[in-house]
Chains A and B, each alone.
Chain A
Amino acid sequence: MEVKTRILICQGTSGISAGADHVAEAFRKELEIRGISDRYEVVRTGDRGLFRDVLVDLIPPDGHRWTYERVQVGDVPEIVEQHLVKGEPVRRLLVKEDYHRFFEGQLRWVLRNCGEIDPENIEEYISAGGYSALRKALLEMSPEEVIDEVMRSGLRGRGGAGFPTGLKWKLGREAPGDTRYVICNADEGDPGAFMDRSVLEGDPHSVIEGMLIAGYAVGASEGFIYCRAEYPLAIKRLRIALEQAKRRGFIGERILGTDFSFGITIKEGAGAFVCGEETALIASIEGFRGSPRPRPPFPAQKGLWGKPTVINNVETLANVPQIILKGADWFSSVGTGTSKGTKVFALAGKVKNTGLVEVPMGATLRDLIFGPGGGMARRGYGFKAVQIGGPSGGCLPEALLDTPIDYESITQTGAIMGSGGLIVLDESSCMVDMARFFLSFTMAESCGKCVPCRVGLARIFEVLDRITKGEGEEKDIEFLETMGNTIKETALCGLGKTAPNPVLTTIRYFRNEYEAHIREKVCPAGVCVPLLRFEVDEERCTKCGRCARVCPVKAISWQRGSYPVIDKGICIKCRACIVECPEHAIK
């Protein structure tokens, strides 16, 4: 059979929002019109992790990979005509150096198939080696051997807490009872994290295969995938994948001719951050409000409907097939003493390249941000902090950028590894405002069951809110620290225990900003609106007029060669001018 040229088009949520589905359609039409569609295969893939509007790969039979970025529907005829027909690549659309830099230094184990295969076609997953780990586990290994392999690999939960996966399975298997469950936690609620979404959209079968192996190891016959409703595309692709796996006999009765039977049901979340906590997630599946309960008993002993339940995160499960296939030693050859394998991070914020980055454990934050991340996005704005671990994590300053990425080192800084959100902040971000932002989130998402979290977070938020309005008092910082530490010690679940982290770390590393807000009533970064005067600093202003152009209400009058003047009667304080000004000249 003739090998076809593959045309890969990234169609994850990001790609589609940039019009990838239209581009794919345009390719199909164009090839049809020219009557050459039988020589090419247009493949829909998930996002590969770098957002460049629409990314298109052409892979001719010789295997060379031509990657085009920011392709629009109008470019398609040119690519087909020039590249496919005449064999001359369209240079202006080819990816540049920074694209390759993004992928160098990454170790893509979990993301190996993202952007490479069609997630809606099980055959592509199988030909990439898929389901052979399941075959190996079921036909050649006993459940105990599977657990032993995972334990020896050193795999730890990627959802944030870092509990050893093999041990969790062992506890689940040894708990008394004849019914057991496996749950895949795909309730990726951390704002700023999108690893799980990309894996589910780009490689759903790897998660399903991981779940099947987990089910076999623990002795479960039923599994649930609890996925956020905010991820409609991930849910759609999961459904398709489950259907295909069922048809191929990987899910259902007597899988691969063995005694092992397993069914998987998708449960859609309904928008509650706390449901990422495992006991709350269980309550939600049972049809109740997602309120956590005290542990022990741990879900592995008493979980869903009182039965032993093993809950693993998407990324954890996606790691499992390869551990079984390539062995524990292969997996543990990468990483640090206590953290093995790789970790996927969702890099976003003020860096050049935003996207998914998978690095070996032990790499430093600096490697990540200035390697694949490509450094800071805007000229004139230097690095200020990196926020790691979402609303449960913390903000780390430049001095800690050489912290190696492993569970213990990150925890020492006062942040947590978390699920892998990594938001880079530059000098235009206010740390008090960041703390206030996270607290407004966790306060709203607190389920209200325990007092420290329900009341304590609200008190912290009130104080932060006052500070950002210029009404802070000298004793506030001390209050925040005392209250934060009290909540950490007394809250019921992981949400409450970690919610004060953003406040405590910003006080620890950026105390001067708090003091500026409280004593001098200024926001050094120009973010807190009540502390801004909306006046032009004529010493800094270069009279470029960009502020006048972006003002949506035309409150800024400017003539070439003169300083702009802001009419405060018209100004709606939207900060568009402050954001636009390259010179930090509007205060």
Chain B
Amino acid sequence: MIRNNQSALRNFSFFAIRLPPFAISLLVFAQKCGIGGERLDFAFGYMVELEPRGEDQGVDESRIDVMELIEKHGRKRSDLIPILQEIQGAFGYIPRDVVELIAKELGIFPVEVYEILTFYAQFRLRPRGKFTIKVCLGTACHVMGGHDIFDYVSNKLEVQAGGTTKDGLFTLERVACLGCCGMAPVVVINDRVYGRQTIQSVDELLRRYSEASEGIGDGG
């Protein structure tokens, strides 16, 4: 882990602000002493999760005008979550550059944006695969075998929860209840809901989706 490692920290620009070495030492010291608690833990923890600068895919300006979006919502703190939601809707994840831009525009620290991004399960900091498979692990789905399905898919695709397959085709996610408990266990691929799944049927779904070059929107 890079956590608590000074030299590795310097390789990252610390949340858009390039900190002088003494500041980083101070932060690391503070964290070791337990000062700053969770906040710093999150900050350090998620720096590791992020792609280092330069590898980020950058913002595709043609897809959405982030400035316009911020303008539209306003610059109040209570607009932060809706802005992030709309950005994720457009990009599929929250690109690093955008975090820094939003922080600047709303007059808050980037860490305050990361705080939100890491607290709420909805937000992603990395791009997703072509198909997002959400396996519902709510109570009803658990009782009806949702975990067996999750484990099977995870084994078969060789990804963990939140991971994306090497070919960039599937992202596997767990979700705590989609409110379709009457048709448990439920699997959602992109936005299509598949109810009453078994290991066999989900196997068939995976096969169909990997074979299809374009999305099978209306199967099932």
Q: Say yes or no: B180 contacts A286, CB within 8 Å.
A: no
Contact pattern, A 534-553, Cβ under 8 Å of B = 1, otherwise 0: 00000000000000001010
A290-B119, A550-B199, A574-B152 in contact; A13/B77 too (CB < 8 A)? no
Identify which of B191, B199, B218 contacts A22 (C-beta below 8 A). Answer: B218
A192-B177, A348-B140, A437-B142 in contact; A271/B182 too (CB < 8 A)? no
Q: Say yes or no: A231 contacts B179, CB within 8 Å.
A: yes
A296: Cβ under 8 A from any B Cβ: no
Taken together as a complex, chains A and B put the C-alpha atoms of A18 and B194 apart, in Å, by: 8
Max chain B Cβ within 10 angstroms of own Cβ: one of A289, A348, A572: A348
Q: Say yes or no: A272 contacts B120, CB within 8 Å.
A: yes
Q: Say yes or no: B151 contacts A191, CB within 8 Å.
A: no
Give min CB distance, B155 to chain A, whole Å: 6
Q: Say yes or no: A191 contacts B116, CB within 8 Å.
A: no
A17 — nearest CB in chain B belongs to which residue?
Answer: B193
B121: Cβ under 8 A from any A Cβ: yes
Taken together as a complex, chains A and B put the C-alpha atoms of A31 and B141 apart, in Å, by: 39
Taken together as a complex, chains A and B put the C-alpha atoms of A285 and B76 apart, in Å, by: 11
A444 — nearest CB in chain B belongs to which residue?
Answer: B176
Q: Say yes or no: B179 contacts A17, CB within 8 Å.
A: no
A250: Cβ under 8 A from any B Cβ: no
Taken together as a complex, chains A and B put the C-alpha atoms of A496 and B192 apart, in Å, by: 34
Q: Say yes or no: B76 contacts A287, CB within 8 Å.
A: yes
Give min CB distance, A523 to chain B, whole Å: 14
Q: Say yes or no: B143 contacts A191, CB within 8 Å.
A: no
Identify which of A14, A19, A350, A550 contacts B180 (C-beta below 8 A). Answer: A14
Contact pattern, B 117-160, Cβ under 8 Å of A = 1, otherwise 0: 00111110000000000000111111111011001100100000
Q: Which of chain A's residues have a CB closer than 8 A to the CB of B177?
A: 189-194, 230
B181: Cβ under 8 A from any A Cβ: yes
A346: Cβ under 8 A from any B Cβ: yes
Contact pattern, B 180-196, Cβ under 8 Å of A = 1, otherwise 0: 11111000000111110
Q: Which of chain B's residues have a CB closer than 8 A to the CB of A550?
A: 198-200
Taken together as a complex, chains A and B put the C-alpha atoms of A208 and B152 apart, in Å, by: 43
A61: Cβ under 8 A from any B Cβ: no
Taken together as a complex, chains A and B put the C-alpha atoms of A372 and B214 apart, in Å, by: 43
B178 — nearest CB in chain A belongs to which residue?
Answer: A230
Taken together as a complex, chains A and B put the C-alpha atoms of A74 and B203 apart, in Å, by: 26
Q: Say yes or no: B143 contacts A17, CB within 8 Å.
A: no
Q: Say yes or no: B198 contacts A287, CB within 8 Å.
A: no
Identify which of A191, A350, A576 contacts B138 (C-beta below 8 A). Answer: A191
A286-B77, A550-B199, A552-B200 in contact; A272/B119 too (CB < 8 A)? yes
B123 — nearest CB in chain A belongs to which residue?
Answer: A270
B176 — nearest CB in chain A belongs to which residue?
Answer: A191
Q: Which of chain A's residues have a CB closer than 8 A to the CB of B4?
A: none
Q: Say yes or no: A574 contacts B148, CB within 8 Å.
A: yes
Q: Say yes or no: A51 contacts B85, CB within 8 Å.
A: no
Taken together as a complex, chains A and B put the C-alpha atoms of A232 and B81 apart, in Å, by: 16
A270-B120, A271-B120, A286-B78 in contact; A188/B176 too (CB < 8 A)? no
Q: Which of chain B's residues have a CB closer than 8 A to the CB of A231?
A: 179
Q: Which of chain B's residues have a CB closer than 8 A to the CB of A576?
A: 148, 198-200
Q: Which of chain A's residues have a CB closer than 8 A to the CB of B200?
A: 550, 552, 576
**A435-485 contacts to B (CB < 8 Å):** 437-438, 441, 445, 447-448
Taken together as a complex, chains A and B put the C-alpha atoms of A354 and B144 apart, in Å, by: 12
Taken together as a complex, chains A and B put the C-alpha atoms of A286 and B79 apart, in Å, by: 8
Q: Which of chain A's residues have a CB closer than 8 A to the CB of B152?
A: 552, 572, 574
**A548-583 contacts to B (CB < 8 Å):** 550, 552, 572, 574-576, 579
A405: Cβ under 8 A from any B Cβ: no
The segment from A88-96, A319-327, A421-429 that touches chain B is A421-429
Give min CB distance, B73 to chain A, whole Å: 11
Taken together as a complex, chains A and B put the C-alpha atoms of A350 and B78 apart, in Å, by: 42
Q: Which of chain B's residues have a CB closer than 8 A to the CB of A348?
A: 139-140, 143, 181-182, 184
Q: Which of chain B's residues have a CB closer than 8 A to the CB of A349?
A: 139-140, 143-144, 181, 184
Q: Say yes or no: B180 contacts A271, CB within 8 Å.
A: no
Give min CB distance, B124 to chain A, whole Å: 11
B97: Cβ under 8 A from any A Cβ: no
A22 — nearest CB in chain B belongs to which residue?
Answer: B218
B54: Cβ under 8 A from any A Cβ: no
Taken together as a complex, chains A and B put the C-alpha atoms of A439 and B93 apart, in Å, by: 29
Taken together as a complex, chains A and B put the C-alpha atoms of A290 and B81 apart, in Å, by: 11
**B3-39 contacts to A (CB < 8 Å):** 38
Identify which of A286, A287, A346, A425 contacts B143 (C-beta below 8 A). Answer: A425
B115: Cβ under 8 A from any A Cβ: yes
Q: Say yes or no: B82 contacts A268, CB within 8 Å.
A: yes
Identify which of A51, A271, A346, A421 contacts B121 (C-beta below 8 A). Answer: A271
Identify which of B122, B123, B155 contacts A572 (C-beta below 8 A). Answer: B155
**B191-220 contacts to A (CB < 8 Å):** 191-195, 198-200, 203, 218, 220
B101: Cβ under 8 A from any A Cβ: no
Q: Say yes or no: A270 contacts B121, CB within 8 Å.
A: yes
Identify which of B116, B176, B193, B220 contacts A273 (C-beta below 8 A). Answer: B176
A191-B138, A270-B123, A429-B143 in contact; A13/B193 too (CB < 8 A)? yes
Taken together as a complex, chains A and B put the C-alpha atoms of A381 and B61 apart, in Å, by: 58
B175: Cβ under 8 A from any A Cβ: yes
Q: Which of chain A's residues have a CB closer than 8 A to the CB of B180?
A: 13-14, 17, 194
Q: Say yes or no: A287 contacts B77, CB within 8 Å.
A: yes
Give min CB distance, B18 to chain A, whole Å: 26
Q: Say yes or no: B179 contacts A188, CB within 8 Å.
A: yes
Q: Which of chain A's residues have a CB closer than 8 A to the CB of B175?
A: 230
Give min CB distance, B106 to chain A, whole Å: 9
Q: Say yes or no: B148 contacts A579, CB within 8 Å.
A: yes
B85 — nearest CB in chain A belongs to which residue?
Answer: A268
Taken together as a complex, chains A and B put the C-alpha atoms of A186 and B145 apart, in Å, by: 27
Give min CB distance, A110 to chain B, whole Å: 16
Taken together as a complex, chains A and B put the C-alpha atoms of A561 and B108 apart, in Å, by: 72
Q: Which of chain A's residues have a CB closer than 8 A to the CB of B116?
A: 270, 287-289
A16: Cβ under 8 A from any B Cβ: yes
Q: Which of chain A's residues have a CB closer than 8 A to the CB of B199?
A: 550, 552, 574, 576
**A492-509 contacts to B (CB < 8 Å):** none
B66: Cβ under 8 A from any A Cβ: no
Q: Which of chain B's residues have a CB closer than 8 A to the CB of A51?
A: 182-183
9 of the cross-chain contacts (CB-CB < 8 Å) are: A193-B181, A286-B77, A289-B120, A290-B119, A346-B181, A348-B181, A434-B143, A438-B139, A550-B198
Other CB < 8 Å A-B pairs besides A194-B180, A349-B143, 15 of them? A13-B179, A17-B192, A51-B183, A189-B176, A189-B177, A192-B177, A194-B181, A230-B179, A270-B122, A284-B81, A286-B78, A290-B120, A348-B184, A349-B140, A423-B181
Residues in B lying within 8 Å of A, measured CB to CB: 38, 76-82, 84-85, 115-116, 119-123, 137-145, 147-148, 151-152, 155, 175-184, 191-195, 198-200, 203, 218, 220
